[in-house]
């Protein structure tokens, strides 16, 4: 992913009197690569491993989906990981400015697979003949009541042996563990150059927008849908990436 160093995230650096809910608008899109890299510990590792995991599970003649693709970092990893013939990638996001800019990034790379960028709500899309599906920090923005339906839809549209890579910010049932991981994440953001004001204003803007589940809730939802394997393959503080195999 190409990051324009001039586009540093300073969105929450000035004191705001009334806090608007966070949304993926033009301002966020302009600084998004810097924002996500400095907010999500381990993001780059997860993005690079998506290529590796894709290469192990992609099936010939199948579809790969990047749901909530933003600027296409995971899409580009999927493109690089595809080592089978006649594959098709669908990268989907419901933010118009994200999809527009995503197209310009994806166009920089060559892929034997056909890539289609679609501006749509992932609640409304159809999934079929899938071997690799990525939800990289997207499910947490979906209304909690709709999450089970999306995981079931993913399972039903997936071929046997196909995989879901699900990365999320999570909460812990144990209060001490929750506090510890929250504090570690706070220090990470502070070391990344975010001020206390930026951290607290972003937290307020994300309230009721980013709603985290526990690892147990994700595992239960995935196994109840029918997936035969659930593995938490990556964890850094309160950010995890899980692998489900059909």
Looking at residue 193, what DSSP letter applies?
T
Structure tokens at 173: 């049932």
- Range 135-145 burial, b when 16+ CB lie within 10 A, else e: bbbbbbbbeee
* Least Cβ distance, residue 40 to ligand GEK (angstroms): 7
The residues facing 63 across adjacent strands are 88, 130
Interaction of residue 207 with ligand GEK, rule CB under 6 A: no
Q: Work out whether 54 is an interface residue with ligand GEK (CB under 6 A).
A: no
- Cβ closest to ligand GEK, residue 74 vs residue 82: 74
- The answer to whether residue 141 forms part of the interface with ligand GEK (CB under 6 A) is yes
Segment interacting with ligand GEK, rule: CB under 6 A, options 89-97, 104-112, 155-163, 230-238: 89-97
Cβ atoms of 147 and 217 closer than 8 Å: no
Shortest spacing between CB 106 and ligand GEK, in angstroms:
12
Contacts of residue 194, defined as CB under 8 A and 6 or more positions apart, other chains included, come to: 38, 39, 202
Task: Please identify, using beta-carbon distances, which residue of 136 and 181 lies nearer to ligand GEK.
Answer: 136
Q: How far from chain centre, in Å, is Cα 16?
A: 28
What's the rounded Cα separation, in Å, for the pair 148 and 65?
18
Interaction residues for ligand GEK, span 34-53 (CB under 6 A): 36
Task: Give the sign of the dihedral formed by CA 212, CA 37, CA 179, CA 237.
Answer: positive
Neighbours of 167 (CB within 10 A): 25
Tell me how far, at minimum, the Cβ of 164 lies from ligand GEK, in Å. Answer: 13
Q: Which residue is nearest to ligand GEK (CB)?
A: 68
- Residues between 10 and 29 with contacts to ligand GEK, criterion CB under 6 A: 24
User: Of the two residues 3 and 223, which places its CB atom closer to ligand GEK in the complex?
Assistant: 3
Helix, strand, or coil (residue 127): coil
73 binds ligand GEK (CB under 6 A): yes
Binds ligand GEK by CB under 6 A, chosen from 30, 54, 59, 95: 95
- The answer to the question of residue 68 lying near ligand GEK (CB under 6 A) is yes
Cα distance from N-terminal residue to C-terminal residue, the chain: 30
Please tell me the distance from the alpha carbon of residue 56 to that of residue 199, in angstroms, as a whole number: 38
Residues 111-140 that bind ligand GEK (CB under 6 A): 121-123, 136-138
For residue 213, state whether it binds ligand GEK (rule: CB under 6 A).
no
Residues that bind ligand GEK (CB under 6 A): 24, 36, 68-70, 73-74, 92-95, 98, 121-123, 136-138, 141-142
């Amino acid at each position: 992913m190409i990051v324009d160093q001039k586009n540093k995230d300073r969105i929450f650096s000035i004191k705001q009197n009334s806090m608007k809910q966070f949304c993926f608008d033009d301002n966020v899109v302009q600084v998004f690569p810097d924002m996500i890299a400095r907010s999500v510990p381990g993001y780059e590792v997860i993005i690079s491993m998506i290529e590796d995991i894709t290469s192990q599970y992609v099936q010939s003649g199948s579809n790969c989906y990047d749901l909530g693709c933003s600027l296409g970092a995971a899409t580009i990893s999927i493109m690089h990981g595809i080592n089978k013939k006649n594959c098709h990638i669908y990268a989907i996001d419901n933010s118009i400015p994200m999809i527009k800019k995503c197209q310009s990034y994806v166009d920089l790379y060559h892929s034997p697979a056909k890539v289609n960028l679609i501006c749509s709500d992932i609640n409304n899309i159809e999934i079929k003949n899938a071997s690799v599906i990525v939800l990289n920090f997207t499910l947490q923005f979906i209304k909690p009541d709709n999450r089970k339906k999306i995981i079931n839809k993913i399972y039903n549209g997936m071929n046997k042996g196909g995989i879901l890579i699900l990365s999320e910010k999570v909460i812990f049932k144990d209060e001490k563990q929750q506090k510890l991981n929250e504090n570690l994440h706070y220090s990470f953001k502070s070391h990344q150059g975010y001020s206390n004001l930026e951290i607290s204003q972003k937290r307020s803007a994300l309230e009721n927008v980013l709603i985290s589940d526990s690892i147990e809730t994700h595992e239960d939802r995935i196994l109840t849908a029918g997936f035969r394997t659930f593995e938490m393959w990556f964890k850094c503080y309160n950010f995890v990436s899980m692998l489900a195999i059909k």
